[in-house]
Chains A and B, each alone.
Chain A
């Protein structure tokens, strides 16, 4: 069974990829990797292909340079990704970053705004040469009822350092399909922070390969499904070399009928002696209809390694709620404060003041709580 052909445009030179996509279609829940995210309802939907986005995206935060989109010279195919053929059939633009050895780049910000009701596909490539350093922020703002796919391929050469903040803030009923692949060379460092607070459905496959000795990845994430949002993250961390290190810190808050799916696999391959991995995830359920499907998974093929993981799912602490109320905070305020504190453990990891403030503000706005800036100002006045 394939997709209805006439719904999918044809681009010159990409007919084979398109045919493959038509034959494959959207995965359904009988596909193991999509057990909690059935996309078969999309088979019958239709999105016109949007024209290229303006290269200079939305305005940037103070202190960040704009990171313009570029036209793709040669689109590729991300094998083993459920949406590889779709993405390859239509991707026309992407973010490119190629740093030579020892080159350093300050903060850059890109904004990807898919128009409402349309589809748009991207392929981004980052390559940092030996000891190069970069810090980037990618904001995703998919339009209501739209569809977008994002393939981000990153290679860090020996000793390179990358900080990447990925924000997904799609509008209602947007379908967000993403693959992020990172390969880390010897002694390279990655700090990736993903913030998922969109209103639609998102599926993010995140694959990190610690391929060089001493490579290190810090992966932090916050996801906030509310309304009818559905956020599915499939994370895989592969320790392939000696003395590699990974740290994961994920927090999910599900409200209303929101669904969070988080599958975090850590694999320590044979030969990855002295590897060290730590995975922490915690989820907060804010309503009886909210759901979390979290699965930590540890596969160890080598002895002499250090692996730890912890996962919890629960509700707001009733004792803490009562304590706050007994001091005069209204129930709604007390709840918002506790949720903000829970999310704050991820937001405080954002390395950029302006970004941290922006995200705190968005979060507290969502929670309907007092202005966070007031809290920050108070602490600054005291310092």
Chain B
């Protein structure tokens, strides 16, 4: 579903990704771990198409399309979702309006009909319940005044409503207490299936206790330096990253 080949990217004139290759097949969950500054967030932003992240070499194909040639909104409509490490606050735009505008914009771009107000509200009620969130949040500005944990829940709520094919979750587990972590993990697991793929960018093993990955990769120095099964995450948890340099 996602094929990244020899990707090089720079941010503010500094080379961050230096030949990163990764293949994620349909139905798979991959975890990407690694020390700070390794390029994990850069990878996430490059996949979502953020301005200022310059790809200097390599390719990214998603469902046989050239992802790097697409505008961010076209990537979203094609089924790419980035769960932000730091979700943005947008005062004056309600969560309700935002989510409906986003959903309808994606549907329109895919040539589907817009969802009507009643159907949308029913959908929202259902997803809010799954995420254990209060309906009152819908009237509030997007992420406005939300705690770190509420913002992360809101990312997963958006993911459930937008139903993407590829989910790239950038440290969605950071800043969550154990109950919130379980809810977020449940949301991620709900989207697991033969038609979707997930990339979890994380520092910690604990999310992987709740969302079992098919593969674990270590990203260091802008490249994948080691890949393995779930046991690799446990090893990293026990030994840190330093041993990888020596190896």
Q: Chain A interface: which of B12-20, B84-92, B199-207?
A: B84-92
Pick from A320, A329, A344: contact of B105, CB under 8 Å:
A329
**Would you call A381 and B121 a contact (CB within 8 A)?**
yes
Q: Which B residues are in CB contact (< 8 Å) with A331?
A: 71, 73
Residue A1 lies at the interface, judged by CB distance under 8 Å to chain B:
no
Max chain B Cβ within 10 angstroms of own Cβ: one of A326, A327, A340, A377: A327
Report the minimal beta-carbon distance from A340 to chain B, rounded to whole angstroms: 8
**Would you call A322 and B51 a contact (CB within 8 A)?**
yes
- Report B109-145 residues with CB < 8 Å from chain A CB: 109, 117-118, 120-121, 135, 138-139, 141-142
* Contact A330 B105, CB 8 Å, known A378-B96, A381-B117: yes
Q: Which A residues are in CB contact (< 8 Å) with B35?
A: none
Report the minimal beta-carbon distance from B122 to chain A, rounded to whole angstroms: 11
Residue B160 lies at the interface, judged by CB distance under 8 Å to chain A:
no
- The distance in angstroms between the C-alpha atoms of A178 and B49, with both chains bound, is 49
Interface string of B91-105 (1 = CB under 8 A from A): 111101110111101
The residue in chain A whose Cβ has the minimal distance to the Cβ of B99 is A327
Pick from A328, A334, A341: contact of B106, CB under 8 Å:
A328
Residue B77 lies at the interface, judged by CB distance under 8 Å to chain A:
yes
- The distance in angstroms between the C-alpha atoms of A320 and B144, with both chains bound, is 12
- Report B149-183 residues with CB < 8 Å from chain A CB: 158, 162
Q: Which A residues are in CB contact (< 8 Å) with B71?
A: 325, 331
- The distance in angstroms between the C-alpha atoms of A379 and B120, with both chains bound, is 12
Q: Which B residues are in CB contact (< 8 Å) with A341?
A: 90-93, 141
Residue B216 lies at the interface, judged by CB distance under 8 Å to chain A:
no
The residue in chain B whose Cβ has the minimal distance to the Cβ of A319 is B88
Q: Which B residues are in CB contact (< 8 Å) with A324?
A: 90, 98, 102
The residue in chain A whose Cβ has the minimal distance to the Cβ of B138 is A382
Q: Which A residues are in CB contact (< 8 Å) with B100?
A: 378
- The distance in angstroms between the C-alpha atoms of A313 and B90, with both chains bound, is 17
- Report B66-90 residues with CB < 8 Å from chain A CB: 71-73, 75-77, 82, 84, 87-90
Pick from B77, B121, B138: contact of A328, CB under 8 Å:
B77
Residue A85 lies at the interface, judged by CB distance under 8 Å to chain B:
no
* Contact A327 B98, CB 8 Å, known A322-B51, A333-B105: yes
**Would you call A326 and B49 a contact (CB within 8 A)?**
yes
Chain B residue total in the interface (Cβ 8 A): 41
- The distance in angstroms between the C-alpha atoms of A324 and B98, with both chains bound, is 8
Pick from B88, B101, B120: contact of A323, CB under 8 Å:
B88
**Would you call A322 and B72 a contact (CB within 8 A)?**
yes
* Contact A337 B101, CB 8 Å, known A322-B51, A327-B158: yes
**Would you call A326 and B48 a contact (CB within 8 A)?**
yes
- The secondary structure that dominates the B interface is helix
Report the minimal beta-carbon distance from B201 to chain A, rounded to whole angstroms: 15
* Contact A328 B96, CB 8 Å, known A319-B88, A322-B51, A378-B117: no
Interface string of A297-340 (1 = CB under 8 A from B): 00000000000000000000111101111111111011001101
Q: Which A residues are in CB contact (< 8 Å) with B91?
A: 341, 345
**Would you call B84 and A327 a contact (CB within 8 A)?**
no
Residue A370 lies at the interface, judged by CB distance under 8 Å to chain B:
yes
**Would you call A337 and B93 a contact (CB within 8 A)?**
yes
Report the minimal beta-carbon distance from A36 to chain B, rounded to whole angstroms: 29
The residue in chain A whose Cβ has the minimal distance to the Cβ of B77 is A328
The residue in chain A whose Cβ has the minimal distance to the Cβ of B124 is A382
Q: Which B residues are in CB contact (< 8 Å) with A333?
A: 101, 105
Residue A47 lies at the interface, judged by CB distance under 8 Å to chain B:
no
Q: Which B residues are in CB contact (< 8 Å) with A344?
A: 92
Residue B23 lies at the interface, judged by CB distance under 8 Å to chain A:
no
Residue B50 lies at the interface, judged by CB distance under 8 Å to chain A:
yes
Report the minimal beta-carbon distance from A78 to chain B, rounded to whole angstroms: 38
- The distance in angstroms between the C-alpha atoms of A370 and B94, with both chains bound, is 14
Report the minimal beta-carbon distance from B41 to chain A, rounded to whole angstroms: 13
Q: Which B residues are in CB contact (< 8 Å) with A370?
A: 101
**Would you call B76 and A328 a contact (CB within 8 A)?**
yes
Q: Which B residues are in CB contact (< 8 Å) with A322?
A: 48, 50-51, 72, 88
Residue A342 lies at the interface, judged by CB distance under 8 Å to chain B:
yes
**Would you call A323 and B77 a contact (CB within 8 A)?**
no
Q: Which B residues are in CB contact (< 8 Å) with A325?
A: 49, 71-73, 76
Q: Which B residues are in CB contact (< 8 Å) with A381?
A: 117-118, 121
- The distance in angstroms between the C-alpha atoms of A326 and B91, with both chains bound, is 18
Chosen A-B contacts, 23 in total, with CB atoms closer than 8 Å, are: A322-B72, A323-B142, A325-B73, A326-B50, A326-B72, A327-B102, A327-B105, A328-B77, A328-B162, A329-B73, A337-B101, A338-B93, A341-B90, A341-B93, A342-B92, A344-B92, A345-B91, A345-B92, A370-B101, A377-B117, A378-B96, A378-B97, A378-B117
Taking A324-B102, A327-B105, A327-B162 as known contacts, 16 extra A-B pairs with beta carbons closer than 8 A to each other, sorted by chain A number, are: A322-B72, A325-B71, A326-B72, A326-B75, A326-B76, A326-B82, A326-B84, A327-B76, A327-B102, A327-B158, A328-B77, A330-B105, A337-B101, A341-B92, A345-B92, A375-B94
